[in-house]
Amino acid sequence: MSDQFTAEDPSTPSGQPGPEQQAHPGRQSDLQTPADHGETSYRGSGRLAGRRALITGGDSGIGRAVALAFAREGADVVIAHLPDEQQDADETVRLVTEAGRRGVSVPGDLRDEAYCQELVRRAVQELGGLDVLVNNAAYQMTQDSLADITTEQFDRVLKTNLYAMFWLCKAAVPHLQPGSCILNTSSVQAYEPSPGLLDYALTKAGIVNFTKGLAQELAPKGIRVNTVAPGPIWTPLIPSTMPPEKVENFGGETPLGRAGQPVEVAHAFVFLASAEASYITGERLGVHGGMPLP
Sheet hosting strand 132-135, strand order edge to edge: 103-107, 76-81, 52-56, 132-135, 181-185, 224-230, 284-287
- Which residues form the catalytic set? 200
DSSP string covering the chain: -PPPP----TTS-SS---S----TT--GGG-SS----STTT----STTTT-EEEEETTTSHHHHHHHHHHHHTT-EEEEEE-GGGHHHHHHHHHHHHHTTS-EEEEE--TT-HHHHHHHHHHHHHHHTS-SEEEE--------SSGGG--HHHHHHHHIIIIIHHHHHHHHHGGGPPTT-EEEEE--GGGTS--GGGHHHHHHHHHHHHHHHHHHHHHGGGT-EEEEEEE-SB-STTTTTTS-HHHHHTTTTTSTT-S-B-HHHHHHHHHHHHSGGGTT--S-EEEESTT----
Instruction: Report how far residue 243's alpha carbon sits from residue 240's, in angstroms, rounded to the nearest whole number.
Output: 8
* CA 198 to each of CA 22, 141, 146, 190, 205: distance values in angstroms, whole numbers, following the listed order: 22, 10, 7, 10, 11
